[in-house]
Structure formats: structure tokens, C-alpha cells
């Protein structure tokens, strides 16, 4: 798959023990897909990117808002102090979409955000993660298509 700038979007082979690809998603634009079966409770990929403090993240969001720039942000909360910006220095994991019934979970291990399979994943399945936006954050519609969909990416 190619980005708007013409660069081919790939998952760096060194980032995952499993073969993964970026492709068109029915959930939202691009997604990450397993090219081989992934057993339950296995490390799949690290969520990589530049680390920002919450203050830096807020400054970045305000600047983009003022510029009316299209959001090219792939932010993952690491803890109360840090956010990981997958758009800068990411490894392809930033294209993993939200689902209310995900097949991946997250763990913090030695200063890294690691995504693990929470059930068996078949070859061809799209990798998904519950983003768990806070309930007080602006409501974001969910398009996961699950029968257990909450309707929003935000927690209830």
C-alpha cells in the first residue's frame, strides 16, 4: 500500500516476529493485517514513535488546530506523563484500528508499549485494539462493525 506521498507503507520486519502488512480497511482507511496465524498471548508488535510529554502533545494539537492542518496524528497514551506519536518515527503499528471487540491488548514493558494478541488471530484478520478514549474526551464515532459495538471509541 502507498501513502499520499507515494511511499510504500510497510511493517518493518524487525518490528514483529509475525508477518504483517498494511492494507485497505473496512474500519477506517488503512489497517494492519496478519499474513500468518498468531497464537493467543503472543507479543505481536511494539507501538513505536516519538515520545512527547502531555504538555508537548497539547502544544502540537493546538498548533495543528490553528493551522487547520489535516490531522496526521497517531497518538497512544503511554502513562500519565508520556504520549507516543506514531506519526513520527512509527513502525507501521500506528495503522492498527480501533474495535470494541479487539484482538490485541497493550502492556507496558520496560518503558515500551507492546501489543499482545488476546485471542488467536487467523491469517488475513485485521489487527485491532480498543483505543479506550476517556468518556470526558470529545465523542468519536466507532466504525468497527462488531455486534458489541459501543457506538463510540470513548469508554462508557
Closest to 140 (Cα-Cα) out of 70, 61, 148, 132: 132
pTM (predicted TM-score) = 0.87
Residue-range domains of the chain with CATH: 13-48+90-129 (2.170.270.10)
Reported as a single tens digit per residue, the pLDDT across 1-31 is 655 555 556 687 788 999 999 999 999 889 9
DSSP letters spanning 129-146: E---B-TTSPP-B-----
How far, in Å, CA of 61 to CA of 54, rounded?
10
pLDDT (mean) for 125-148? 91
Residue 71 has pLDDT above 90, yes or no: no
Beta bridge partners of 27: none
CA atoms within 13 A on the CB side of 96: 31
User: Residue 107's CB: how many other CB atoms inside 10 A?
Assistant: 10
pLDDT at 1: 60
pLDDT (mean) for 83-102? 92
Amino acid at each position: 500500500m502507498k501513502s499520499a506521498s507515494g511511499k510504500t507503507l510497510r511493517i518493518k520486519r524487525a518490528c514483529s516476529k509475525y508477518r504483517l502488512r498494511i492494507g485497505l480497511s473496512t474500519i477506517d482507511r488503512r489497517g494492519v493485517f496478519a499474513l500468518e496465524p498468531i497464537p493467543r498471548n503472543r507479543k505481536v508488535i511494539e507501538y513505536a514513535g516519538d515520545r512527547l510529554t502531555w504538555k508537548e502533545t497539547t502544544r502540537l494539537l493546538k498548533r495543528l488546530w490553528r493551522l487547520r492542518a489535516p490531522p496526521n496524528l497517531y497518538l497512544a497514551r503511554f502513562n500519565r506523563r508520556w504520549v507516543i506519536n506514531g506519526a513520527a518515527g512509527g513502525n507501521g503499528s500506528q495503522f492498527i484500528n480501533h474495535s470494541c471487540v479487539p484482538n490485541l491488548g497493550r502492556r507496558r514493558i520496560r518503558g515500551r508499549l507492546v501489543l499482545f494478541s488476546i485471542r488467536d488471530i487467523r491469517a488475513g484478520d485485521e489487527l485491532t485494539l480498543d483505543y479506550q478514549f476517556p468518556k470526558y474526551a470529545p465523542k468519536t464515532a466507532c466504525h468497527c462493525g462488531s455486534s458489541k459495538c459501543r457506538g463510540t471509541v470513548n469508554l462508557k
